């Protein structure tokens, strides 16, 4: 039989979906206890022996207090290390983390932050986003005031010209941040719990490689396969083309003979690419 912790983990995806949809812990608890109120006898009092549904006074409250922070089960959860593996399995937190109000992920050149918004936030004018090179502020407009969802200083500066934001209606404000340096972030905001960058995937994808680097990689790959087959590599082929022009030139001792590349030992640094 599964342990209580294992049984609870079965519903993590469903509960996480609700939490991301409503935007914060307070709204999540309203949904949770609202469900108990509408669909169960959790709030019904058992006043007499004739009552068949409900709980005696104080019992329901004690059930909640039983699982307050510090209870045996919660303590066991706190003792379970929350490693980077749990974040790596989620595309929204790949190479990043899940925080109370947002999730973030990153690759070699960019950071993506998803700031959770209430379901009623469906239009861009309902949110206010201020992206600065060194800080960020995301808020929702509620009547004549604003409720801040995310605010703080970045751990690294961003390139605001190549950074932008968009709204996924009822879900999140998506911040697409362009890094100014080729560095892996351990956190989005200063003061935030840091991740261990040694536990993330730090390999560069081809999408992050510029044209010049791409050309070098293509040439190295080509040379590798040519060498395996005993064929001339790119630097040798380039020199051979130049030598062929003079091979049959007037006055050449090789004029009229078939070009023989084996006569030449060409080091890789002989050609500038």
What is the number of H-type helices and E-type strands within the chain?
Answer: 8, 8
124, 149: one domain: yes
What is the Cα–Cα distance from 112 to 226, expressed in whole angstroms?
40
- pLDDT digit of tens for each residue in the chain (273 aa)? 455 555 566 777 788 888 888 778 878 888 888 787 777 877 777 666 666 677 776 667 777 766 654 445 445 444 444 567 778 878 888 999 999 899 999 998 999 999 999 999 999 999 999 999 999 999 999 878 899 999 999 999 999 999 999 999 999 999 999 999 889 999 999 999 999 888 888 776 655 555 776 676 667 777 777 777 777 777 777 766 766 666 666 666 667 667 666 666 666 555 555
Tell me what pLDDT residue 27 has.
Answer: 80
Tell me what pLDDT residue 95 has.
Answer: 92
Tell me what pLDDT residue 81 has.
Answer: 45
- Asked whether residue 40 is assigned to any structural domain, the reply reads yes
- Asked whether residue 23 is assigned to any structural domain, the reply reads yes
69, 101: one domain: no
Cβ-based neighbours of 248, under 8 Å, separated by 6 or more: 254, 255, 256
- The neighbour count for residue 19, using CB atoms within 10 Å, is 19
122, 189: one domain: yes
Nearest residue to 138 via CA among 161, 167, 163: 167
Coil/strand/helix, residue 167: strand
Can you read off the two tokens belonging to residue 116? 């959770």
101, 185: one domain: yes
Tell me what pLDDT residue 264 has.
Answer: 63
- Asked whether residue 249 is assigned to any structural domain, the reply reads yes
Question: Into how many domains does the chain fold?
Answer: 3
- Asked whether residue 86 is assigned to any structural domain, the reply reads no
- Domain residues for the domain of 255 are 209-272
What is the Cα–Cα distance from 225 to 231, expressed in whole angstroms?
9
180, 222: one domain: no
Domain with 149 in it: what CATH number? Answer: 2.60.40.790
183, 264: one domain: no
Tell me what pLDDT residue 267 has.
Answer: 63
181, 226: one domain: no
CB burial class (10 A; 0-12, 13-18, 19+) of residue 220? Answer: exposed
- Asked whether residue 201 is assigned to any structural domain, the reply reads no
- Asked whether residue 145 is assigned to any structural domain, the reply reads yes
173, 260: one domain: no
- Asked whether residue 169 is assigned to any structural domain, the reply reads yes
Of 148, 163, 194, the last residue of a domain is 194
Tell me what pLDDT residue 125 has.
Answer: 92
- Asked whether residue 87 is assigned to any structural domain, the reply reads no
Of 170, 194, 218, the last residue of a domain is 194
113, 156: one domain: yes
119, 156: one domain: yes
What is the Cα–Cα distance from 26 to 21, expressed in whole angstroms?
12
99, 190: one domain: yes
């Amino acid at each position: 039989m599964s342990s209580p912790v294992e049984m609870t983990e079965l519903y993590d995806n469903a509960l996480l979906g609700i939490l991301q949809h409503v935007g914060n812990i307070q709204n999540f608890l309203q949904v949770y206890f609202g469900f108990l109120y509408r669909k169960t006898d959790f709030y019904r009092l058992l006043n007499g022996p004739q009552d068949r549904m409900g709980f005696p006074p104080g019992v329901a409250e004690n059930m909640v207090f039983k699982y307050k922070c510090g209870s045996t089960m919660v303590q066991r959860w706190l003792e379970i290390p929350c490693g980077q593996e749990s974040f790596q399995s989620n595309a929204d937190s790949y190479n990043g983390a899940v925080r109370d109000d947002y999730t973030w992920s990153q690759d070699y050149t960019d950071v993506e932050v998803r700031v959770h918004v209430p379901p009623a936030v469906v239009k861009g004018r309902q949110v206010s986003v201020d992206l600065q090179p060194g800080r960020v502020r995301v808020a929702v407009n509620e009547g004549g005031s604003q409720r801040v969802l995310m605010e703080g200083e970045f751990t690294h500066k961003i390139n605001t010209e190549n950074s932008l934001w968009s709204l996924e209606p009822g879900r999140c404000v998506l911040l697409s941040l362009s890094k100014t340096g080729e560095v892996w972030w351990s956190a989005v905001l200063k003061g935030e719990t840091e991740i261990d960058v040694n536990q993330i995937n730090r390999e560069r994808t081809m999408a992050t490689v510029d044209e010049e680097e791409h050309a070098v990689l293509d040439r190295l790959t080509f040379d590798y396969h040519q060498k395996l087959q005993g064929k001339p590599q790119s630097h040798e082929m380039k020199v051979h083309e130049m030598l062929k022009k003079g091979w049959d030139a007037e006055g050449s001792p090789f004029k009229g003979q078939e070009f023989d590349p084996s006569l030449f030992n060409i080091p890789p640094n002989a050609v500038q690419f």
